[in-house]
Every structure is written in structure tokens, then in C-alpha cells.
């Protein structure tokens, strides 16, 4: 992610200016790269973030439960993203 590819991202936004852009990350919204982008890329405000809700850790701590939550959450979120 560092350094942010400003010119390349600007070119994509310019080329597809009428599109809605989404930043998708597996981590909760308070973790992962989205926060970094908000601080380091002035057009990150155009990105709608699709991420898990805020959490103290990126996973439940139990692999089977985490896998079940992953499948459920991502299926629901991708269907309801728009």
C-alpha cells in the first residue's frame, strides 16, 4: 500500500467517473487498509468501504465459528452492498 499509487488510482476514477467504487476488506472497518487510504489518499472519500463491523480482534478465535461467520457475513454483505 505504501506509497499509495495516487496516479494510477486517479486514472481509474477519471476513466470510470460515473461508477461507484468499493473498497472491500476482510478485516473489520477499524482495521485493514481503509483507514490508511483515508489518511493518505485524498480521493478515498469516493470509496465505499465494505468491511466487517468494528471489532477488537479480526476474528472470533475459533476457526470453525470464524469460517461460518465469514461465509454468512460476506454473502449477506455482497448481496446488500448496493
* Any domain includes 16: no
In a domain, 64, yes or no: yes
CA 58-62-68 angle, 5° bins: 80
Contact between 70 and 62 under an 8 Å Cβ cutoff? The reply is no
Q: pLDDT, tens digit, for every residue of 9-66?
A: 999 989 998 888 888 888 888 998 999 999 999 888 888 888 888 888 877 788 888 8
Looking at 16-56, list the stretches that DSSP marks H as alpha helix, in order from N- to C-terminal side: 34-40
Domain of 67 in residue numbering reads as 21-79
Instruction: Flag whether 6 is in a domain.
Output: no
Q: Is residue 3 part of a domain?
A: no
Sole residue written with cell 469516493: 46
Return the SS3 of 54: coil
> Is 73 part of any domain?
yes
0.75 exceeded by pTM: no
Number of domains in the chain: 1
Contact 43, 10 (CB under 8 A): yes
E-state strands within the chain: 21-28, 47-52
Indicate whether 31 belongs to any domain: yes
Q: What is the pLDDT of residue 82?
A: 58
Q: 8 lies in a domain?
A: no
Amino acid at each position: 500500500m505504501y506509497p499509495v499509487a495516487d496516479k494510477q488510482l486517479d486514472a481509474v476514477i477519471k476513466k470510470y467517473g460515473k461508477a461507484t467504487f468499493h473498497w472491500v476488506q476482510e478485516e473489520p472497518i477499524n482495521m485493514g487498509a481503509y483507514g490508511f487510504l483515508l489518511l493518505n489518499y485524498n480521493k478515498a472519500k469516493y470509496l465505499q468501504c465494505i468491511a466487517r463491523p468494528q471489532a477488537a480482534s479480526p476474528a472470533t478465535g475459533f476457526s470453525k465459528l470464524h469460517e461460518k461467520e465469514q461465509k454468512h457475513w460476506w454473502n449477506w454483505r455482497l448481496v446488500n452492498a448496493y
